[in-house]
Amino acid sequence: MINLPPAFIYIIGALLIPLIRVRRLQQAVALLIPVLAMATLLRMPQGVYWQVQFLDYELILGRVDKLSLLFAYIFVIISFISMIYAIHIKEMGQHVAAYLYVGSTLGVVFAGDLFSLFFFWEIMAAASVFLIWYNKTPTSLMAGFRYAMVHLFGGAILLGGIVMHISSTGSIAFNPFDLSTLAAKFILFGFLINAAVPPLHAWLPDAYPEGTITGSVFMTAFTTKSAVYVLARSFAGTEILVWLGAIMAVYGVIYAIIEKDIRRLLSYHIVSQVGYMVCAVGLGSEMALNGAGAHAFCHIIYKAVLFMGMGAVIQVTGRRNILDLKGRNLYRKMPITLVLYMVGAFSISAVPLFNGFVSKTMIVAAAGYGHRPVIELMLHLASVGTFLSVGLKLPWGVWFGKPDGSEDEIADVKEPPLNMQIGMGLGALLCVITGIFPQTLYKLLPYEVHFHPYAPSHVVASLQLLLLTLAGFCIYIDKLMAGKKSISLDTDWFYRIFGWTVLLFCRYPLNRFRNLVQLAFADKTEIAARLSKHPYALLEIVWYALIGQEKSMTELLQRTYNEKDYRVPIGIGVCASLIFLFLYALIYMRVAG
C-alpha cells in the first residue's frame, strides 16, 4: 500500500527545496522528487486509494486506472527532463512554482471526486502564473495578469457547474456527465478554457511566450493536457468536441504560419495539436481514445524539445523573432541544438520513425474508420501546416535564412549550458524510441491496441503529404520568410479592448465623479478629522451652544489638544475617597455597636 499520493510528493518537495541552503543538495533534491514519484507510480496497482471523509462526502485522492496512469507517467517523466533543463537556475522560486504546478496536475489526474478536482485545478493555475511573472518584464507581468484572470474566470465557471451538479444529484463523484444538464455545460465550458479551445484559447499564445526560458517548458506540458484528460474522463463521445477539435487543429496552424515570434509560433501549435486530442475524445471510440492518450504522451515530449530548443536560442542570442535571427548562420554555432530541435520538429510533423507519427496517424485513422471524411481532411490539412511552419519555416528562419543585408553580428553565440543540452537530448531520445518502438507506448494505453502505424498505406500517405509540403515551401520560401515585425490579432483583442475600456472608464468618468464627491464632502471630512484629533472639542462646542456663549466651531477645532488642560487634579479624587471611607467607617461602627 502506498502511503503518499504522487501529488503530495511534489507539493511537499516544492516546499522543502527553499529550506535547503546547500545549492548542490537543492539540485539533488529537485531531481530526486520525480524519481520518488515514478517509483510510487510503478508500485500503484489499479484501484481506489487515499479516501478522506470530508463533511458528508468522501474525497478520493487516488483513482488509479490505465487512463490516469498514462497521463501520470508522462507528467512525471517530463517533469524530470524539464528539471534537468532548468537545474542551472539559481532562483529557487521558479523550481517551487514548477513543482507545485506538477503536483497539482497529478492531483487532477488521480482525483476521483469533484471537490479534489477543483482544489488541484485552482492550484495549477495559481502556481503556473509565477512561471510567467518570474520573467520580470513589463510584458510578462501583464501577460501573467491576463492569464490569471482567464483561469480565475474558468475556475468560477467550473465551480458553478460543480455546485449545480451536486445540488441536483447529491453526488461529488467525478464520472461521465450528461451534457443535457446545465451543470454539465458549465463544467464542460470550464474544461474547454484550459484546453485552449477557440475562441477561448488566446490566453495560451499570449502567456506562454512571455514565461521564463525554463518555465515555458513546464507550461507546455500540463495545463492543456490535464484538460484533455478530464475531457476524456467525463465527456468522451461528445459530438461537439469532434468539430471543436478539428477547428482547433486548423486554426492553430493558420496562425503559426503567419507568426514570426518563435515561441508564439510554437504556442499556436499547442492549440493545433491539442485539437487532435480533443477531436479524438469527441469521436469516442476505443481507437480514438487510445489515439488521444498516445498523442498527449508524444506531444508533451516533442513540444518540450521544441520549446527547449527555441529557449536555448533566445538565451544565447537574446532574440526571439525570426526576422532578427535569419541569415546569421546559427547552424554553425549551435549545431547540437539544431539537430535536437529537428527531432522534435520531425516528431510533431508526423515523420515516420518519430513518435508523432505513431500517435497522430491513429487519430486520423479513427476519424476514417468512423466515416468522418470532413474531419479527416481537416486533420490532414493541419498536418501539412504543421510541417510547413515547425519543420521548415521555423528552423530555416532561425538557423539558416537568406541574408537581406540588414543582418548584424550576434556576439558570443554558442551552445547552451550542458544541462540544457542533456534535457533536450533525453526528450529527443524518447521521441525516437517511442517512434521506432510504438509498442512501448501502446502498452500503456487504456484499451487494447489493434492499430499498426507502419502499414504501407499510412507510411506512403504521410510521406506524400510531407514531400508535397516541402515542394511548396521551396517554391514559396521567399514569401513565407518575408514580412515585417507585427502582432497577429486574435480573440484576446476583445478582452484586451474590454479591459482598456474599463480602465479608461475608471480613469476618467469614474475618477471625475470621485473628485466631485470629494469636493462636496471635503469640509465635512476635515471637521471629522479634527474631531478625531481633539476628543473634547465636540463637548465644548455643545457646551458653548447650550450656555449661549458665542465661539466659532473653527476656533474650537483649531485648538491643539493637550491632555494637561483636561486632567483632573489627583487631590480631588483622594479627598473624595477619604470622605467616603470615613462615612463608611462611621456607619459600620454605629451598626456594629
Count of alpha carbons within 13 angstroms of residue 66, beta-carbon side: 12
Say whether both 187 and 120 belong to one domain: yes
Same domain, residue pair 105 and 30? yes
pLDDT at residue 273 is higher than 50: yes
Does residue 27 surpass a pLDDT of 80?
Answer: yes
**Which residue range forms the structural domain that includes residue 543?**
524-592
Residue percentage of the chain with pLDDT more than 90: 69
Kindly state the cell numbers that stand for 50: 487515499
User: Per residue in 531-556, pLDDT tens?
Assistant: 666 666 667 667 666 776 665 555 65
Residue 381 has pLDDT above 60, yes or no: yes
Distance, CA of 132 to CA of 150 (rounded, Å) = 14
Which of 66-70, 260-264, 406-410, 578-582 is predicted least confidently?
Answer: 406-410
User: Are 91 and 230 in the same domain?
Assistant: yes
User: What percent of the chain is modeled with pLDDT above 70?
Assistant: 91
Confidence category of residue 324, pLDDT binned at 50, 70, 90: confident
Q: Check if the beta carbon of residue 559 is closer than 8 Å to that of residue 537.
A: yes
Asked if 185 contacts 531 with a C-beta cutoff of 8 angstroms, the reply is no
Residues 269, 183 share a domain = no
Q: Is residue 459 part of a domain?
A: yes
Same domain, yes or no: 363 and 323? yes
Domain assignment present for residue 275? The answer is yes
Is the same domain home to 198 and 252? no
pLDDT number for residue 476: 83
340 within domain boundaries: yes
pLDDT of residue 536: 67
The pLDDT of residue 585 is: 83
pLDDT digits (tens, 9 = 90+) for 108-150: 999 999 999 999 999 999 999 999 999 999 999 999 999 999 9
CA 390 to chain centre: 23
Per residue in 481-517, pLDDT (tens digit) is 777 777 778 888 887 888 788 888 888 888 888 888 8
How does residue 423 score in pLDDT terms, banded at 50, 70 and 90?
very high
What grid cell was written down for 385? Answer: 501546416
Alpha carbon of 509 to those of 161, 499, 504: distances in Å? Answer: 36, 15, 8
Q: Does one domain contain both 567 and 577?
A: yes
User: What is the pLDDT, as a whole number, of residue 570?
Assistant: 59
Averaged pLDDT for residues 443-456:
94
Q: Looking at the domain assignment, is residue 269 inside a domain?
A: yes
Same domain, 394 and 514: no
Q: How many CA atoms lie within 13 A of 126 on its CB side?
A: 10
pLDDT digits (tens, 9 = 90+) for 34-79: 999 999 999 998 999 899 988 888 999 999 999 999 999 999 999 9
Last residue of a domain, one of 486, 507, 534: 486
The last residue of a domain, from among 186, 219, 234: 234
Within a domain: 439 = no
Torsion of CA 395, 399, 404, 408, to 10 degrees: 140
Inform me whether the pLDDT recorded for 293 exceeds 90: yes
> Of 192, 218, 234, which closes a domain?
234
What stretches of 173-238 show up as alpha helix (H) in DSSP?
A: 182-194, 203-207, 215-234
CA dihedral 129, 131, 132, 135 (to 10 degrees): 150
Are 100 and 8 within one domain? Answer: yes
Number of domains in the chain: 4
- Per-residue pLDDT band for 299 (boundaries 50, 70, 90) equals very high
Residue 565 has pLDDT above 50, yes or no: yes
Residue 450 inside a domain? The answer is no
**Is the same domain home to 410 and 500?**
no
- Are 243 and 94 within one domain? no
**Is 477 contained in some domain?**
yes
Q: What is the pTM of this model?
A: 0.86
Q: How confident is the model at residue 1 (pLDDT cuts 50, 70, 90)?
A: very low
Cα distance between residue 492 and residue 537, in whole Å? 58
Whole-number pLDDT of residue 553:
58
Q: Average pLDDT in the 266-270 region?
A: 96
Q: Rounded mean pLDDT of 220-224?
A: 94
Q: 119-129: per-residue pLDDT in tens?
A: 999 999 999 99
Q: Which of 30-39, 174-183, 448-457, 521-530 has the lowest mean pLDDT?
A: 521-530
CA atoms of 26 and 17, how far apart (whole Å)? 6
Asked whether residue 445 is domain-assigned, the answer is no
Angle at alpha carbon of residue 76, lines to 74 and 78, rounded to 5°: 65
Q: Looking at the structure, tell me whether residues 127 and 141 fall in a common domain.
A: yes
The total of other beta-carbon atoms located within 10 Å of residue 559's CB is 13
